[in-house]
């Protein structure tokens, strides 16, 4: 009998992660909650300028509404940094700390939880100072030779350090658990959370080297020039895997929480472990796919990265299969019939579910457009056009952010001990944001195919094409709906925190698993992480060492550009 059938007949529906009734000390809950508050406050600032950007594609200029804003790029920098870096880091630090604790059934390290939070807060303060005073309008990619104030680089560095401190916290908690559970498999919820941070720890070394080794000394006047190609390469060493650092916390919820929330079960524990291990392995050696048009990198290296990029799509395909199978299991348990009938039987009235299932739908198109970006030749058609933000608002701008919103709908009540305020409004909120992002993406993508540039204040441009006009209206209308959807979310969150009914709140949702973890064989090695880390380092060496050997030492020759 296969393990699968054995599991079905033996123990269907057993929570394999830990006992229910889990709780954390109030001080730890408060810190985790403040991570979410900081992250979502950043989002609130970020989306305000998002509205201006979307309207600009429709030819409408509202920059005058922003007191103190010096130019479009200052706002666009805040939009990118706050949404894509601050929100995602703060959320991961809070959420995956909680899932690790829940998975292992134990509390976290107090001091490290504090240290991560305050480092994050200091990073936000420094980067905000630079951005809001107009000293860092260099966008969230901060390509040299554009130069920002040192406080911007130091602030971003501290944000990364806060994720490292969180990693140490997770590792220490895991180590303590291991001591008490020799020979046991790591509970799946903790495994996927720790794997996410291991991936990011390796990935973030590139950006750390760039900032500490090149940009920070340069902005302080300690070295005379910058090396644009080397800094771009180090940036994209981290810049591709960062998208998995955004996405994997969402996957943690899709794999292990949503099945429970819809009344279904996760298909397979071993498959889930393999998928997260594949992300550790394959997320990093693909950065040159952001540099297809850069000179100074050989064609063959770019091709290697292109091929590996299609490799990292594979675990995402397994994810699509796994997640849909869990949803189908839930929908059928709720009486859904036929090929698609189960989909409509999902608990669409639960705002946490609605937000996350809609998030998954946006990700289908986000993934497909990503494959187009990754294709060596087709990339030329869309490179640096508005197609690109069209693509990533269907990934990080919706699949990830809507999942975070959906998680917040149970997590903030759980952390705060208050019921969610405005449940029905929360469902409406998700639909408004969802329809908005689809319209925005429709506009940006079609304009991009007609050559409309990204990172351009089109409302003030003296050129344009007729075909950009209708597309621009789609973007403007979609962006406005997204903005309204985001504002509704903040309202619901604020009202929950301030006025939500006190009392019993639902437990943290954790799914049961149809196929349990293997008890013997090679799979046990996955829990040691070191094997997959060694393999990942080998792949990274293959992908980057030839370039570095040919290119180094750094050529610090290009003088700073300060346009704004
Ligand atoms: C109300 C919601 C939002 C609207 C209307 C919006 C709109 C836009 C538009 C039109 C652009 C293109 C600007 C240009 O290229 O000139 C853009 C860029 C961007 N957006 Fe959003 N966005 C929203 C939310 C988000 C969220 C939630 C995220 C991520 C979590 C995000 C991440 C980004 C990033 C990283 C960029 C690129 C910035 C750059 O080119 O440096 N956006 N957004
Ligand atoms: Cu990438």
* CB of 538 closer than 8 Å to CB of 286: no
**Cα–ligand 1 centroid distance for 455 (angstroms):** 10
Exactly one of 244, 245, 544, 547 is catalytic; name it.
244
Nearest atom in ligand 1 to the alpha carbon of residue 51 is 5
Backbone φ, ψ for residue 45 (5° rounding): -65, -45
Exactly one of 391, 489, 544, 547 is catalytic; name it.
391
Which ligand has an atom closest to residue 445 CA? Answer: 1
- Residue 72 burial (CB count, 10 A): 22
Nearest atom in ligand 1 to the alpha carbon of residue 87 is 30
Q: Which pair of tokens denotes residue 290?
A: 């952001």
Q: Which pair of tokens denotes residue 450?
A: 């007609």
**Cα–ligand 2 centroid distance for 237 (angstroms):** 9
The CATH superfamily label for domain 25-551 reads: Cytochrome c oxidase-like, subunit I domain (1.20.210.10)
**Cα–ligand 2 centroid distance for 392 (angstroms):** 10
Q: Which pair of tokens denotes residue 191?
A: 């495994």
Give the model's pLDDT for residue 504.
85
* Of residues 229, 245, 232, 251, the one with CA closest to residue 283: 245
Give the model's pLDDT for residue 20.
57
Question: For tokens 């060694």, what's the residue?
Answer: 534
Q: How far is CA 179 from the centre of its chain?
A: 32
Backbone φ, ψ for residue 457 (5° rounding): -80, 85
Give, for all 564 residues of the chain, the pLDDT tens digit.
333 333 333 333 444 444 458 999 999 999 999 999 999 999 999 999 999 999 999 999 999 999 999 999 999 999 999 999 999 999 999 999 999 999 999 999 999 999 999 999 999 999 999 999 999 999 999 999 999 999 999 999 999 999 999 999 999 999 999 999 999 999 999 999 999 999 999 999 999 999 999 999 999 999 999 999 999 999 999 999 999 999 999 999 999 999 999 999 999 999 999 999 999 999 999 999 999 999 999 999 999 999 999 999 999 999 999 999 999 999 999 999 999 999 999 999 999 999 999 999 999 999 999 999 999 899 999 999 999 999 999 999 999 999 999 999 999 999 999 999 999 999 999 999 999 999 999 999 999 999 999 999 999 999 999 999 999 999 999 999 999 999 999 999 999 999 999 988 899 999 999 999 999 999 999 999 999 999 999 999 999 999 999 999 999 999 999 877
Tell the residue nearest (CA) to atom 25 of ligand 1: 397
> Residues in the chain, how many?
564
Which ligand has an atom closest to residue 312 CA? Answer: 2
Give the model's pLDDT for residue 2.
37
Q: Is 149 tagged catalytic?
A: no
Give dist(CA 341, CA 333) in Å, integer: 12
Tell the residue nearest (CA) to atom 18 of ligand 1: 389
Residue extents of the structural domains in the chain: 25-551
Report the SS3 class of residue 168. helix
Full DSSP string of 516-528: PPPSSSGGGGGGG
Tell the residue nearest (CA) to atom 26 of ligand 1: 397
Exactly one of 288, 454, 489, 544 is catalytic; name it.
454
Give dist(CA 454, CA 57) in Å, integer: 9
**Cα–ligand 1 centroid distance for 80 (angstroms):** 6
Looking at residue 392, the DSSP 8-state letter turns out to be H
Which ligand has an atom closest to residue 288 CA? Answer: 2
Residues with CB under 6 A from ligand 1: 47, 50-51, 53-54, 57, 76, 79-80, 83-84, 87, 139-140, 389, 393, 396-397, 401, 440, 454-456, 475, 479, 482-483, 486
**Cα–ligand 1 centroid distance for 30 (angstroms):** 30
Burial 296-327 (b: 16+ CB within 10 A, else e): ebeeebbebbbebbeebeebbebbeebbebbb
Give dist(CA 349, CA 343) in Å, integer: 13
Backbone φ, ψ for residue 451 (5° rounding): 90, 10
Best residue among 45, 393, 445 to mutate for probing ligand 1, ranked by most atoms within 8 Å of CB: 393
**Cα–ligand 2 centroid distance for 13 (angstroms):** 38
Give dist(CA 483, CA 337) in Å, integer: 37
Q: Is 393 tagged catalytic?
A: yes
Exactly one of 392, 434, 483, 547 is catalytic; name it.
392
């Amino acid at each position: 009998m296969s393990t699968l059938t054995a599991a079905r007949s033996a123990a269907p529906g057993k929570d394999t992660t830990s006992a229910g009734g889990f709780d954390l000390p109030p001080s730890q809950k408060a810190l985790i909650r403040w991570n979410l508050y900081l992250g979502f406050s950043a989002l609130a600032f970020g989306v305000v300028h998002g509205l201006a950007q979307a309207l600009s594609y429709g030819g409408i200029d509202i920059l005058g509404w922003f007191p103190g804003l010096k130019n479009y790029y200052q706002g666009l920098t805040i939009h990118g940094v706050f949404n894509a870096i601050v929100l995602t880091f703060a959320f991961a630090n809070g959420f995956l700390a909680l899932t690790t604790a829940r998975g292992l059934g134990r509390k976290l390290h107090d001091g490290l939880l504090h240290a991560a939070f305050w480092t994050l807060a200091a990073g936000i303060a420094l980067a905000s100072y630079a951005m809001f005073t107009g000293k860092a309008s260099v966008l969230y990619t901060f390509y040299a030779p554009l130069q920002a104030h040192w406080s911007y680089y130091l602030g971003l560095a501290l944000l990364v350090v806060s994720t490292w401190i969180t990693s140490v916290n997770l590792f220490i908690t895991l180590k303590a658990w291991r001591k008490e559970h020799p020979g046991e498999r790591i509970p799946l919820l903790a495994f996927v959370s720790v794997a996410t941070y291991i991936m990011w720890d390796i990935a973030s070394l590139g950006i750390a080297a760039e900032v500490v080794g090149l940009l920070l000394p340069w902005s302080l006047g300690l070295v005379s020039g910058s090396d644009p190609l080397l800094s771009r390469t180090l940036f994209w060493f981290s810049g591709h895997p960062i998208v998995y650092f955004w996405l994997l916390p969402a996957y943690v919820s899709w794999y292990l929480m949503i099945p429970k929330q819809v009344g279904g079960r996760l298909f397979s524990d071993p498959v889930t472990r393999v998928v997260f291990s594949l992300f550790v392995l394959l997320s990093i050696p693909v950065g040159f796919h952001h540099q297809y048009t850069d000179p100074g990198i050989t064609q063959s290296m770019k091709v290697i990265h292109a091929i590996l990029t299609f490799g990292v799509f594979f675990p995402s395909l397994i994810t699509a299969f796994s997640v849909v199978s869990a949803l189908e299991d839930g929908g059928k348990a709720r009486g859904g019939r036929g090929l698609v009938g189960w989909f409509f039987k999902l608990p669409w009235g639960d705002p946490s579910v609605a937000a996350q299932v809609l998030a998954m739908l946006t990700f289908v198109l986000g993934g497909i457009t990503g494959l187009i970006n990754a294709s060596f030749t087709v990339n030329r058609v869309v490179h640096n056009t508005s197609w690109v933000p069209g693509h990533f608002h269907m990934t990080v701008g919706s699949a990830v952010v809507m999942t975070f919103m959906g998680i917040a709908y149970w997590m903030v009540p759980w952390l705060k001990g208050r019921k969610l305020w405005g449940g029905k409004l929360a469902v409406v909120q998700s639909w408004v944001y969802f329809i908005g992002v689809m319209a925005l993406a429709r506009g940006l993508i079609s304009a991009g195919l007609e050559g409309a540039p990204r990172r351009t204040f089109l409302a003030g441009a003296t050129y344009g094409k007729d075909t950009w006009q209708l597309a621009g209206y789609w973007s403007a209308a979609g962006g406005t709906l997204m903005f309204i959807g985001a504002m509704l979310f903040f309202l619901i969150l604020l009202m929950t925190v301030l006025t939500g009914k006190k009392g019993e709140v639902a437990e943290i949702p954790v799914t049961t698993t149809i196929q349990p973890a293997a008890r013997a064989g090679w799979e046990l090695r996955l829990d040691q992480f070191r094997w997959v880390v060694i393999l990942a380092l080998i792949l990274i060496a293959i992908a980057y060492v030839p370039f570095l050997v040919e290119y180094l030492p750094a050529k610090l020759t290009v003088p700073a550009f300060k346009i704004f």
